[in-house]
Amino acid sequence: MKKILAIAALIFAVTCAWAQDNISISESIPKQAADILLPRLVQMLEAGGKADTPLKVEADVTDRMETPGSISQTALTIDLIISSGEVAETFTIKGVGDTEADAWVSAVKKFLPRSKNAQIFVEKLGF
């Protein structure tokens, strides 16, 4: 039984590592946020049975606000553009944090790989 679990874990790890190589994340996305986003994208593809699909991820900050006061916070509205070949989808995410990097991380954590919009995007990848 332990051997079967070990083999299953190894296959899962290899699949995840291979799927991550197929995902290109823009350098405009801070590293902390990209490190959170990558496994979520892998999970989204694997849930739809498209783990071998290459993705390109770009982001565009559409709104940036600084809250006034002694403890200022940054609020971001980000269009996350995920594409593969002819298929592209824009996911709008929002985040708030003490710094811009914290706001990015907050926003990326709100990207849900099992959301209805993510499932629809993966279905479009079926060509």
Q: Are 56 and 121 in contact, with CB atoms under 8 Å apart?
A: no
Reading the chain (127 residues) residue by residue, the pLDDT tens digits are: 666 766 655 555 544 444 457 899 999 999 999 999 999 999 999 988 888 889 999 999 999 999 888 888 999 999 999 999 889 999 999 999 999 999 999 999 999 999 999 999 999 887 5
* Prediction pTM value: 0.79
Task: Quote the pLDDT of residue 30.
Answer: 94
Q: Which domains does the chain have, with CATH numbers?
A: 2-124 (3.30.565)
Task: Quote the pLDDT of residue 125.
Answer: 87
Instruction: Name the phi and psi angles at 60, rounded to 5.
Output: -135, 120
Quickly list DSSP for 62-107.
EEEEE--SSS--EEEEEEEEEEETTEEEEEEEEEEESSHHHHHHHH
Spatial distance between the Cα atoms of 76 and 66, rounded to a whole number of angstroms: 9
Q: Are 80 and 90 in contact, with CB atoms under 8 Å apart?
A: yes
The letter for the amino acid at 109 is K
Task: Quote the pLDDT of residue 5.
Answer: 63
